[in-house]
Amino acid sequence: MTIEEDVKLFPEYSREWVRKHLENEGQKNQYPDHETIINTRDWLRVLEPDSELYSIVDRISWENIQICQTKWHETHSFQSKQLKEGVGDISPVIDLENGLKWVKLESPESKHRENRNMNIHINAKTIPFSLRDDKNQPHVTVEFDNEKKKFERIMSEGSWGLHKKYYEDILKLYKYVGADNYDLLLEKDPEDYDYCHNTEKYDYYAVFDEKYVYGEDAIAELPDDTVFDLVIFPGTHAVSNGRLYIGDEKILSCPENTVFDYVLLRRDSKIKEWNYDVLGDLDVYGTKELNIINGKIGGKIISDKPVQDLVKKPPGMRM
């Protein structure tokens, strides 16, 4: 991870001076490892805003911050170890190849232990699952709504800042329970993921076959017949039956009777006339060349131009 990625893991109030600390440690070839960063972040999260330490923490050296967070974690760990789980408190769900395992939390005791270990609060109305290591320590907690068949929250310690190394483990749980709201897993900070049509602020994600792919090139290099569960691809693209068509040429190579699930045409698109049907949204915001929409649109037409000036026929899918 880069310094900026690490900084985003920290509470907002601490990011400016944490960045300076990390830069200084890097210049000394002592850049902290991921565990140290996470431990420091977790300690900063629990500082009370009205405490004396909170008011001066931005002036404490990195070395003294490490002393404080280490002492806090030692106390926290000791308290957590006093909370035992017995037979019937958890149920094994999935054994993973990397040595981790998913368990279902069955009892109030197991949920209480998870809350203390992870510094979270589990919603009593959900079914909680915990990703455990070989020492039975939790790394990720997931809340599942059985009625809606979707995940409500995916939490690392402190309830946010999920590390990407757990994504594929979580995707296996998605398949196990039958949830498909993958956007919850892949959602980003608003500054990175706000659909403001600024390419530099976008990230590229794809989920398929219990795998997670990150990056524009990695997605573009996948076979054309890949069927995706979810794609977040900010460039010009269209999706039909889970297949991704990137760029004007690929989109326009589709047969005239193709029905797309979703379409995004960026400002660099050269498509002048849209003749395909779309089940969902047609996002043409900022597109310079497009001047006619002939296809039937089941969702919204997202445009910075008056829609009535683009649509030749009323939007709405054929019945």
Instruction: Note the pLDDT tens digit of each residue in 115-124.
Output: 878 878 888 8
Judge contact between 141 and 179, C-beta under 8 A: no
Q: What is the DSSP letter of 311?
A: B
Note if the pTM is more than 0.75.
Answer: no
Q: How far is it, in rounded angstroms, from Cα 291 to Cα 276?
A: 14
Closest alpha carbon to 138 in 119, 165, 161 = 119
Contacts 24+ apart (CB under 8 A), 301-307: none
Query: Percentage of the chain with pLDDT > 90?
Result: 46
Q: How open is the CA angle 128-133-138, to the nearest 5 degrees?
A: 40
Average pLDDT, the chain: 84
Judge contact between 295 and 275, C-beta under 8 A: yes
Instruction: Compute the 3-state secondary structure of the chain and give helix, strand, coil in percent, each to the nearest 5.
Output: 35, 20, 45
Q: How far is it, in rounded angstroms, from Cα 50 to Cα 132?
A: 35
Angle between helices 62-81 and 15-27 (to 10 degrees): 110
Q: How far is it, in rounded angstroms, from Cα 261 to Cα 242?
A: 8
Residue 252 has pLDDT above 90, yes or no: yes
Query: Per-residue pLDDT tens for 157-212?
Result: 654 557 778 888 999 999 999 998 988 887 644 334 343 334 434 578 888 888 88
Angle between helices 34-45 and 62-81 (to 10 degrees): 80
Which amino acid, residue 25?
Answer: E
Judge contact between 203 and 214, C-beta under 8 A: yes
Res 300: pLDDT: 93
Judge contact between 279 and 240, C-beta under 8 A: no
Res 201: pLDDT: 40
Q: How many Å separate Cα 159 from the centre of its chain? A: 13
Residue 238 has pLDDT above 90, yes or no: yes
Strand partners, 301: 282
Q: What is the mean pLDDT of residues 306-311?
A: 83
Q: How many residues does the chain have?
A: 319
Query: Per-residue pLDDT tens for 57-83?
Result: 889 999 999 998 888 877 766 555 555
Q: How far is it, in rounded angstroms, from Cα 111 to Cα 165?
A: 24
Q: What is the mean pLDDT of residues 288-306?
A: 91
pLDDT band with cut points at 50, 70 and 90 for residue 250: very high
Res 194: pLDDT: 40
Judge contact between 299 and 306, C-beta under 8 A: no
Structure tokens at 94: 């999935």
Q: How far is it, in rounded angstroms, from Cα 46 to Cα 73?
A: 11
Structure tokens at 117: 């270990």
Q: What is the DSSP letter of 201?
A: G
